[in-house]
Amino acid sequence: MKIGDLVKITRASIDVPAGTIGLVIGGLVNRVDPNLILYEVQLPKSLGWPVQDTNRKRYFLDELELISESR
């Protein structure tokens, strides 16, 4: 998975229902286990959040389903 990929959230959480579409905008690699990556996903503002950064959430790879790869 890389920046620019379109993904679907597979696990529901507070304020984000399962099936929500988002855009991968970054990733954080764990220093101890480099295979453990948290992906930062930009979610649609239509979910009722304010304009701040609260429409960005972090997810593990197994919580995301790839819809479309960036070129």
Torsion on CA atoms 14, 55, 19, 58, rounded to nearest 10: -80
Q: What is the pLDDT of residues 23-44, one digit of tens each?
A: 999 999 989 998 899 999 998 8
pTM for this model (two decimals): 0.81
Longest dimension (CA), the chain: 37
2 against 55, higher pLDDT: 2
| Residue 7, number of CB atoms within 10 A of its CB | 21
Distances (CA, A) of 60 to 10, 21, 49: 11, 15, 22
In sequence order, what are the residues at sequence separation of 6 or more whose Cβ sits closer than 8 angstroms to the Cβ of residue 45? 51, 55
Q: What is the mean pLDDT of residues 7-23?
A: 91
